[in-house]
Amino acid sequence: MKVLITGGAGFIGSTIASACLDQGITPVILDNLVTGRREFTEGRDFYEGDIADGPLVDRIFADHPEIAATIHCAALIVVPESVSEPLRYYRENVAKTVALVEHLQRNGCDRLLFSSSASIYTPGPDFAVDESSELDPLSPYARTKMLIELVFKDTAEATRLRVLSLRYFNPIGADPLLRTGLQTPLPSHALGKLIEARRSGEPFRITGTDWPTRDGSGIRDYVHVWDLARAHVAALTRFDQALPPGGNGCYNVINLGTGEGTTVRELIAAFEAVTGAPQPVVEAGPRPGDTAGAFTRSEKAAELLDWRPELSLEQGIADTLAWFAHRESVLAPS
C-alpha cells in the first residue's frame, strides 16, 4: 500500500511516515517546508509544494497510482499566532484544504485520515471528553480544525469521500529510533518550553494558574507521538472496517489520547523525576487563545482500531530529551 501524507516533513507527519515504513506501507510526502524539514524526507518519495497546487497533486497521483489513502497533517498550529494572524490560518488551514479535497476527488482518492484536534472540545467539570462532547473551539486555530471537519462531513455525505477525523490530544516524544522529532528550534508546547528553560537556565513560565483544575494549572492529555503514529497505521489497515464503502457511515471521529489528565504542575514534577533535577518556575497569566484543557475518556479507538497507547508520560519526556540532545546533528541549517 502507498499513502499520501500532506505535511509529512513535520513532527507528526514524519513520525507517521516512519511508522508506515516499519509496517511495509510506502509514504509519499507532500510538504511546502514552511515548518517541515527536508531532512525528514530523506529516502522517502517527496514532493515539495503546496496542498492547493492542483497540477502538483495530479502529478503525484500520476507517479503513484497505487496511493490508497491520504493522511492530511498539513496545517499551521500555533495558537497565539492564530490569534494575531487569523486570516492566514483560515487561508492555509481551511481554504487550502478545500482545494486539496477537490484535487483528491479528481484523482479518485476517497479514503482520508484527518489530523484534527481535541482543542475543539468544551470539557465538562472533570475536563474529560468523548467524541459526543460539546464543541466550542476558543482560538482561530481550533476553529479552523472544526471548520475542516464540517467540510469533510458535508463532502462525505454528498460524494464517495470517506473520512476518519482523528482528534489528537497533546503529542510529546519522538520517533524512538530518533529518525524524526520536533522540527522547530523553539516549540510552543509546555514540554518543549520546559526543555528550553532547562537549557537556558531560566525559570519555566506556568502560563495560567487560576484554571478550575486540581492545582490551578492547565490540564492536558499527553500522548506519545509514536503511539499516535501507530494509531494512523491501525486506521489505514482497518479503514474499510471502520467506514465500509457503500455504507451509511461515510464520516467518523475518533479521539487519540491516553485517557489520563496531567496538569502543568504534574508535568513539571514528572520532568524533574526524569531529569533528576529541580526546575525553577514562575507564574504568569494565560497566553492568548489558551484554555484549561481536556483529556479523553473514550474507548472508541480501541473498539474501531484495536489501538491503545503503550508509552508513558515519562517515556515521552525521556524521548523528547533524547531528541533534543540528538537533533543538532540531524537538523542542518535550512
Active site residues per annotation = 141
- On the 0-12 / 13-18 / 19+ scale of CB atoms within 10 A, 223 is buried
Q: How far apart are CA 282 and CA 208, in angstroms?
A: 11
User: CA 105, 109, 113 angle in degrees (round to 5)?
Assistant: 105
- Under 8 Å CB-to-CB from 299, ≥6 apart: which residues? none
* H helix intervals, the chain: 11-22, 54-63, 79-84, 86-89, 96-106, 140-158, 190-200, 225-237, 239-242, 264-275, 300-305, 313-330
Quick count: other Cβ atoms within 10 Å of Cβ 318? 16
The three-class DSSP label of residue 31 is strand
Q: Which of 182, 222, 1 is nearest to 109 (CA)?
A: 1
